[in-house]
Structure 1
Amino acid sequence: MLRRAALLAAVVLLGAPALAPAGTYPPRGSDLYAGVSDGGSKQDYFAFARAVGRVPVMQAFETWEAWSQEAVKRWKRTETRGMLSLSTSPCYGCDGVVSPRAIRRGRSDRYLLTVNRRLAQWGRPTYIRLLPEMNGYWNPYAAFDADGSRRGRSHRTRQFRKAWKRTVIVIRGGPRRDINRKLKRNRMPPLTSGRRSDHPPRHLPEPEVAFLWVPQTSGSPDVKGNGPNAYWPGGRYVDWVGADIYGKFPNFAGLNRFYRRYRDKPFVIGEWAPWDADRPAFTRHLFRWIRKHRRAKMAVYYQGFGDNNPFVIQRYPRSKRALRRELEGKRWVGRAPDSRRPGG
């Protein structure tokens, strides 16, 4: 009888639909999350919400080595789920403050420990869009320049993959002994505090974080060795896979190929916007694509910085109306499930 019951249970489990791992923090069931980038103030979020409806995720852009509490404050004031887009550059096309090789060697461990601690203190699930568009020459952690020439040993894709792994291992936290074991297995030096006289804590906090790997669907420049897979760090170090798409460059064929290649992760559109053309058909096409692709769970609108930039949705009235209609669909969640402010 027990054997029969166990067999029956196994059949039920095998027949059950696969669930996303708890650490990915996806929306429930068939629900979908929309998000918007942080323009630098909470007013930017509320202006977007007035234009198209409330969205549950806010993406903040942060520079490596320069942790700021401002993003956390805005997540709290807007009651959104936070997303960090972490870059080694303070602006588009600027030099990086640290190379992938230096991150691999532990030169940024003090910063990573700060991120680990601050996100644990925040106490809410946070998405980290780590070093995005890494195969685009405009990013200082890319391996190639615009002309297709390599940037040197410190920027090889192997260095990038190691830097990504170290970042994920440290920010996820846990016992220092386990962290160092993972680093050693990946042929990287042990965790440091960044100060000669101090040792890292014996046990790091374990914040609720999910890491988003979001390259370009093809390399820029599109040369051998600069495709997305050259930067792939391995499935255990990635929680979501995603890509960016804009109305100015609506490469849905590339998006389809990319989506099919990485099959076992929830999918995010890390950035999207009309960009220089008010074509509501692009917005409708993108949202139809999301609805038809089962693993697609989140789309984040990029609204740029400043009132006159080419990404503000208010510049595109027809696209704005199309977006509002799409977000009125039943599957799109209006508020983050953890929108209550900590302590209140």
Structure 2
Amino acid sequence: MTFSVRSVHTLRTVRALAAALLAGALLAGCSTFSEEGRDQYERSQGEPPAAEGAEGAEGAGGEASESAKSVDQPYDVRPLLEPKKKYLGVAADGAPAKMNAVEDFAKRAGKKPNLMEFYSAWGDQYERELVQNAWDYGAVAYIAWEPFETSLKDIAAGKEDKYIREYASSVKELNLPVAISWAHEMNGFWYPWGTKKTSPADFTAAYKHIHDLFAEEGATQVIWVWSPNVINPMPKVKLKPYWPGDEYVDWVGVIGYYAEYGPHTYKSLYGPTMTQIRTFTKKPFIIAETAAQAGERKPADIKDLFQGTAKRDDVIGFVWFNYDKETDWRISSGPLSQKTFREQAQSDSFGFDVTKP
């Protein structure tokens, strides 16, 4: 994006403009919305962490899906990798520990989500109850696993093997499908595992080491997600050096938001990133985090997201970030936005029974 500034009289004004540019780029491209990640970013800017909004909800109802299969027969995730229809995913306040926000989303959207994202810090145990809650609701759990408290070099060197093996063992024992996106947005600068502190070689070595330990433990229930941010805020950072290889990735989880500033069409927001990725892999895309900033353009952005995803056979769905945080990303931010989301979600292309994909 291009800005024209005719007159700048003080250093304070220059700093304010720079801050606006950075905020616009971040909103247009990345999420940085985990609790710890956002708080760290705000502290680095000299700001106190923002208070999180919460919304009461009414139940949407719905019957539970089938429970886990016997550990003697590991859950076969292959039918979930490239389903005939597309995922309608959500990340919602408190879910899946509590389902009120998800049920409210489903009621407003007119359709239950079948992919449910939540965030987990490195060092946390595998949150089996949350994965089970999502599955019982009818959704595959999607975990954004964030390595804040360790270096990627240490992970690759085997210093975290005990923790990784315990985590993998829990995945195997629960025996439910789970999508894991480890160290997302690695091509950005705002996380400690990003471009300022971590090299592509360190990232790929750590990613592959974690994957290999899961394989050794027999935790085959994982759908492995490699999740770069859209390249628009940092176009000079090439993605191929971060690619661990087709044998290590099931989904390419592109992260990008429709914001007031920056690209705001499916082609301009996701196209450059997808085009670059297609030069080195044909793995299916999922829009791993997205939403539209509240405003007059939001209904059009929602329609663009649904229709753009529907048109591409290689995009298997999206996860909507349904939070009121920094801005109101929720589908309920305005009556026309909610109406548009509900209309678009009725498409037979979106949503399916995850037990029978």
TM-score by length of 1: 0.71
Report the equivalent of 2:131: 72
**Secondary structure, counterpart of 2:256 in structure 1:** strand
* Structure 1 residues 64 and 222, CA gap change in structure 2 (3 angstroms): same
Which one of 219, 224, 247 corresponds to residue 258 of structure 2? 247
What is the CA RMSD across the aligned residues, in angstroms?
2.4
The answer to whether the 8 Å contact 1:54/1:334 transfers is no
- Secondary structure of 1:297's aligned partner: strand
Separation in 2, partners of 1:87, 1:158: 18
Cα drift, residue 220 of structure 1: 4.6
**CA 1:80–1:38 in 2, change beyond 3 Å: closer, same or farther?**
same
Query: Is the Cα–Cα contact under 8 Å of residues 146 and 182 in structure 2 kept in the other structure?
Result: yes
Given that 2:81 and 2:250 are in contact with CA atoms closer than 8 Å, whether structure 1 keeps it comes out as no
Structure 1 residues 58 and 286: alpha-carbon distance in aligned structure 2, compared to 1, 3 A threshold = same
Which residue in the other structure is 2:202 paired with? Answer: 159
Per the alignment, do residues 228 and 253 of structure 1 end up closer, same or farther by CA in structure 2, a change over 3 Å counting? same
Gap regions ≥5 residues in structure 2: 1-75
Question: Hey, what's the Cα distance between the residues in 2 that align with 1:273 and 1:336?
Answer: 23
| Structure 2 CA distance for aligned equivalents of residues 34 and 82 of structure 1 | 12
Q: Deviations along 1:161-190, whole A, 9 cap, x unmatched?
A: 10111111112x23xxxxxxxxxxxxxxxx
Q: CA deviation at 1:77?
A: 4.5
Q: Is the 8 A contact 2:131 2:178 kept in 1?
A: no
CA offsets per residue over residues 265-295 of structure 1, 9 Å max, x none?
Answer: 1110001111233521111111111111111
Instruction: Report the CA distance shift for 1:304/1:107 in structure 2 as closer, same or farther (over 3 A).
Output: farther
Determine if contact 2:82/2:284 at 8 Å carries over to the other structure: no
Look up the SS of the partner of 1:313 in the other structure.
Answer: coil
1:33 aligns with 2:52: no
Indicate if the aligned counterparts of 1:214 and 1:243 stay in contact, CA closer than 8 A. yes
1:107-150 deviation per Cα after TM superposition (whole angstroms, max 9, x unaligned): 22122112212222222221112211111222110022xxxxxx
Q: In the alignment, is residue 324 of structure 1 matched against residue 342 of structure 2?
A: yes
Describe the shift of the 1:47–1:302 C-alpha distance in structure 2 as closer, same or farther (beyond 3 A): same
Rate the CA distance shift 1:219–1:115 in 2: closer, same or farther, 3 A.
farther
Q: Could you say what secondary structure the match of 1:264 adopts? A: coil
Structure 1 pair 76–264 and aligned structure 2 pair: CA distance change class (3 A): closer
Mapped contact 1:27–1:33 kept (Cα < 8 A): no
Q: Is the 8 A contact 1:64 1:111 kept in 2?
A: no
Matched, 1:233 2:248: no
Spell out, residue by residue over 1:51-105, the C-alpha distance to the aligned partner (whole angstroms, 9 max, x if none): 11211111111111112334224314423211111112xxxxxxx2011111111
**Which amino acid is the alignment partner of residue 47 of structure 1?**
D
Contact (CA 8 Å) 1:137, 1:220: kept in 2 or not?
Answer: no
Q: For the structure 1 residues 48 and 73, does the alpha-carbon distance in structure 2 shift closer, same or farther, using more than 3 Å as the test?
A: same
SS at match of 2:350: coil
State the number of aligned residues.
269
2-structure distance, mates of 1:316, 1:287: 18
